[in-house]
């Protein structure tokens, strides 16, 4: 349980991060970044709604060991109709702002689905960190695309989780920046010198080929089954939670081992016991724009990597000898054989380290923080005249819907401006 009044912000504004992922689910991009922002800001991690049998909506505040980020879990009556739920969530958000004395926060979004509940909040700036193309994921809400279009219009700065998704979103915003997956290199470097392996993995025969991460529709389960059948003397370790995939869809073989999710702190111990790290991604709409965090993590751990040809993986890592790219079951198996035969060499590890230099989460956070501060500064400059001439608050759209603005010229100026004025703005 945490106090409802966390320590005052340390030199920065309060930050509310709206996420479709639970804080304690899988340690990835949101956790890495929000941890670092919490060194200077109060950070509230506002999660997706949880239905409750109670007749009133309420908020849960959760503290977790080792972090100063506060997870906020909204509870809404399970009998509330969908069109009423967002109003209840907006009301809960307002209660939180008032209770904790939050004024002009930074609003940071990982999911456009939460924009409607926060659109009314007067923010110092609005950030959209587009980590994935969520609309392409299984069971995506039908209104997600519309909400994202609105969020892209309203956001002051947009970040993307890789270059492919950056290229896709770039026409929608004029202040958008790619930030591919970074890595906590010292954390995963531990795997290079670890000598033991966790108990639940120690009894699995070698060679071990492993995957760690969410097991969902992005994983090519047919490929996994084919590999297990074709190489019965290899062991396949699948580490991570299973979501949006039924148990009946998971291939069951004597040499496939589903170990479930493990804490982030323990991942290097598991990776140390692998001979090859796998990225058996399906090539579908859900993986079209992904930039997997596990690529640099595997490499920092000193594991050779075999991946299907995901665009951002090929672009960023395909030239490294430690990374094999293969399409199709037979080619993938052959690539795994090559990775097993080559193992890891000092030269390969030195090249990996050169490649990973500069990809730290600390550096990514610092660059993002500078762009957020710049957006706050621009907004404060735009809003300064309101102190003299109060006007309705409005956020600058990403792409102006007009070609010319005529200021102070009245009707005559509008006529002289010509037919390309759509519309004319008078001040």
* SS3 readout for 219-267: ECHHHHHHHHHHCCCCEEEEECCECCCCHHHCCCCCCEEEEECCCHHHH
For residue 133, the model assigns a pLDDT of: 79
pTM of the model: 0.84
As a whole number of angstroms, the distance between CA 408 and CA 254 comes to: 77
As a whole number of angstroms, the distance between CA 426 and CA 91 comes to: 36
The burial of 263, by beta-carbon neighbours within 10 Å (0-12 exposed, 13-18 middle, 19 or more buried), is given as exposed
* Residue matched to tokens 């304690």: 24
As a whole number of angstroms, the distance between CA 337 and CA 59 comes to: 52
For residue 384, the model assigns a pLDDT of: 59
Q: Give the relative orientation of helices 29-37 and 361-383 as an angle to the nearest 10 degrees.
A: 60
Is the CATH code 3.50.50.60 the one for domain 15-178? no
As a whole number of angstroms, the distance between CA 8 and CA 10 comes to: 6
CATH number of this structure's domain 185-356, picked from the four choices 3.40.50.2000, 3.90.1260.10, 3.40.50.300, 3.20.20.60: 3.40.50.2000
For residue 401, the model assigns a pLDDT of: 41
* Residue matched to tokens 């509310």: 16
For residue 25, the model assigns a pLDDT of: 86
Q: Which residues of 86-119 are buried (b: 16+ CB within 10 A; e: fewer)?
A: bebbbebbeebbeebebeebbbbbbbbbbbbbbb
In this prediction, the residues of the chain whose per-residue pLDDT falls under 70 are 1-12, 136-140, 383-427
The burial of 67, by beta-carbon neighbours within 10 Å (0-12 exposed, 13-18 middle, 19 or more buried), is given as middle
For residue 416, the model assigns a pLDDT of: 35
DSSP string across 355-373? HHTT-BHHHHHHHHHHHHH
For residue 102, the model assigns a pLDDT of: 96
For residue 286, the model assigns a pLDDT of: 82
- DSSP-derived letter for residue 41 is S
As a whole number of angstroms, the distance between CA 205 and CA 232 comes to: 11
For residue 158, the model assigns a pLDDT of: 97
For residue 83, the model assigns a pLDDT of: 80
CATH 3.40.50.2000 intervals, the chain: 15-178, 185-356
């Amino acid at each position: 349980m945490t106090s409802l009044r966390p320590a005052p912000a340390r030199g920065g504004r309060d930050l509310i991060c709206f996420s479709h992922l639970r804080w304690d689910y899988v340690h990835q991009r949101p956790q890495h970044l929000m941890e670092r922002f919490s060194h200077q800001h109060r950070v509230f991690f506002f999660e997706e709604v949880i239905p409750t049998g109670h007749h009133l909506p309420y908020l849960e505040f959760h503290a977790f060991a080792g972090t100063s980020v506060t997870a906020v879990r909204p509870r809404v009556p399970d009998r509330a109709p969908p069109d009423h739920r967002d109003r209840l969530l907006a009301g809960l958000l307002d209660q939180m702002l008032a209770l904790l004395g939050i004024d002009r926060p930074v609003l940071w979004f990982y999911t456009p689905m939460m924009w409607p509940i926060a659109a009314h909040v007067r923010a110092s700036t609005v950030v959209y960190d587009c980590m994935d193309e969520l609309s392409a994921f299984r069971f995506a809400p039908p209104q997600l695309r519309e909400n994202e279009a609105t969020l892209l219009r309203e956001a002051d700065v947009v970040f993307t989780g890789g270059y492919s998704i950056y290229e896709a979103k770039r026409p929608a915003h004029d202040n958008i920046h790619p930030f591919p997956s970074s890595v906590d290199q010292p954390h995963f470097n531990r795997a290079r010198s670890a000598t033991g392996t966790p108990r639940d993995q120690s009894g699995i025969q070698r060679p071990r080929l492993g995957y760690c991460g969410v097991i969902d529709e992005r994983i090519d389960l047919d490929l996994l089954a084919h590999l297990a059948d074709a190489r019965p003397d290899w062991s396949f370790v699948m580490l991570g939670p299973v979501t949006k995939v039924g148990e009946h869809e998971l291939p069951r073989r004597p040499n496939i081992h589903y170990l479930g999710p493990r804490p982030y702190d323990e991942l290097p111990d598991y990776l140390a016991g692998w001979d090859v790290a796998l990225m058996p991604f399906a090539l579908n709409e859900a993986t079209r724009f992904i930039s997997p965090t596990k690529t640099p993590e595997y490499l920092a751990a000193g594991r050779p990597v075999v991946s299907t040809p995901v665009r951002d993986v090929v672009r960023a890592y395909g030239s490294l000898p430690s990374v094999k790219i293969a399409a199709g079951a037979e080619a993938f198996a052959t690539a795994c054989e090559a990775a097993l035969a080559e193992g890891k060499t000092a030269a390969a590890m030195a090249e990996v380290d050169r490649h990973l230099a500069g990809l730290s989460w600390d550096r990514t956070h610092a660059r993002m923080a500078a762009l957020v501060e710049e957006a706050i500064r621009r907004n404060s400059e735009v809003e300064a005249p309101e102190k003299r001439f109060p006007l309705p608050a409005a956020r600058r759209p990403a792409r102006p819907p007009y070609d010319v603005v005529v200021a102070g010229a009245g009707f005559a100026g509008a006529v002289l401006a010509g037919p390309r004025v759509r519309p004319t703005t008078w001040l």
